[in-house]
Chains A and B, each alone.
Chain A
Amino acid sequence: MTAVREVVDFKAIKIGDALPDLRKTVTVEQIRAYAAASGDRNPIHLDDEFARRAGLPGVIAHGMLTMAFVNQLVTDWLGSRGAVRSLQGRFAGMVLPGDEVRCTGTVLNKDDSRRRITLSLGAANQRGERVFTKGVAEAEV
C-alpha cells in the first residue's frame, strides 16, 4: 500500500493508547534484499548450509530487520511531522523465513512541555513467541 501518511495530532494522544499493529511476513527474498540494502551479508542470513553448520535451523532474518519493522510501526503512526529521538530494544528470538512478525506499541508517557511521546514497543511471531522485547522509542511530535 502506498499512502501519504497522516500527521498524528499531539493533543489527541493519550497515555495507554495502542498503535495500530503492523504485520510482516518475512521471506527469503526480503532477507536477501535487506542484506543487499544494509550491507550485512553475514552468511547466516543468506546460506542455509552455513546457517545449519552454525547450529541454526537455516537462514535467519537480521535482527535489525525486525527492529526496522518496529521502527516502521512508529513512523507510520507518527506521520511525517514527528521525529524519532531514540529507539531501543532487545532481540529476544530468531525470525525465520515464513514467520509473521506482529509489531505492537502503546503510549507509555506524554510530556506536553517538550511535546515528547514515549512508546513501549514489542514484536512477536505467529505462535505468540516474543522476538523483540523491552522496546522503547521517544518521539517529538
Chain B
Amino acid sequence: MGRTYETEPFEVTAESIRAYMNAVGDTRVEPDLVAPPTYAMVYGFDAYWQLWSDKEVALDTAHLVHGEQSFTYHRPVRPGDLLKTTGRIAGISARGNMEFVTFDLSAKDAGDQPVSEASALFIIRTP
C-alpha cells in the first residue's frame, strides 16, 4: 500500500502516436495531431510495468487480468510533450482466491502542470 513508481520523462512523438493509432486501426487524419485519450496508457506504461515487476509486491502477472480502468484529462497531449507519470498502489484486498490491486496514476508535463489521471483495477486469480 502506498508504494509509488515514477516514469522517466516520456517524450511524445508523432511517430509514437501514429504507431499507437495504427495498431488500434484509428486511421483518421487531422491537421493538428492530438493523442487519443487512451494513449495515456502509453506514456504512463512504465509505471504499470514497474508495479508488475516489483519483486517485493510480487504480483502473479501470468494470472493478472485488467478489471477496470478510468482516465480523466486536463488537456490534450501533442507531439513534443514531455510527460512524467507517477503510479501509486492505492489499495490491495483479497476475496476468496482473488486479489484486487488498485493503482492510481497521475501525469504531469515539463512545467509540472497536471495532464491526466488514471486508475486501474487489477485482479489476480490464484489457480
User: Contact check: which of B30, B45, B69 meets A67 at CB < 8 Å?
Assistant: B69
Q: Does B22 contact A (CB under 8 A)?
A: yes
Alpha-carbon distance A33/B25, docked complex (angstroms): 10
Residue in B41, B42, B62, B66 whose CB lies within 8 Å of A53: B62
Question: A134 to B20, alpha carbons, bound, how many Å?
Answer: 24
What would 12 A/B residue contacts be, using CB atoms closer than 8 Å?
A1-B27, A4-B29, A5-B30, A34-B23, A55-B127, A63-B69, A64-B41, A68-B26, A71-B37, A72-B24, A85-B73, A91-B69
The reply to whether B68 and A72 form a contact with Cβ atoms under 8 Å apart is no
Question: Do A87 and B37 touch across chains, with their CB atoms under 8 A apart?
Answer: yes
Which B residues lie within 8 Å of A38 (CB)? Answer: 20, 23, 41-42, 45
Per the bound structure, the CA–CA distance linking A25 and B28 in Å amounts to 18
A-B pairs, 5 with minimum CB distance: A88-B70, A63-B66, A33-B23, A39-B45, A37-B19
CB-CB nearest in chain B for A94: B65
B3 in the interface (beta carbon within 8 A): no
B56 CB within 8 Å of chain A: no
B20 lies within 8 A of A71 (CB): no
Contacts A54-B62, A84-B37, A88-B70: A37 and B16 contacting too (C-beta < 8 A)?
yes
Q: How far is the CB of A62 from chain B (nearest CB, A)?
A: 8
B32 partner residues in chain A, CB cutoff 8 A:
80
Supply 16 further A-B pairs (C-beta < 8 A) apart from A30-B25, A75-B37. A2-B28, A3-B28, A33-B23, A34-B23, A36-B19, A39-B46, A40-B49, A44-B62, A63-B65, A72-B24, A80-B32, A87-B38, A87-B71, A88-B69, A89-B69, A90-B68
Give residues in B with beta carbon < 8 Å to A. 16, 19-20, 22-30, 32, 34, 36-38, 41-42, 45-46, 48-49, 52, 61-63, 65-73, 76, 127
- For window 1-25 of A, CB contacts with B under 8 Å fall at 1-5, 24
Interface residue tally on A, bucketed by range: 35 or more
Task: For the complex, give the distance between the alpha carbons of A80 and B78 in Å.
Answer: 13
Does the CB pair B62–A2 fall under 8 Å? no
A39 close to B37 (CB less than 8 A): no
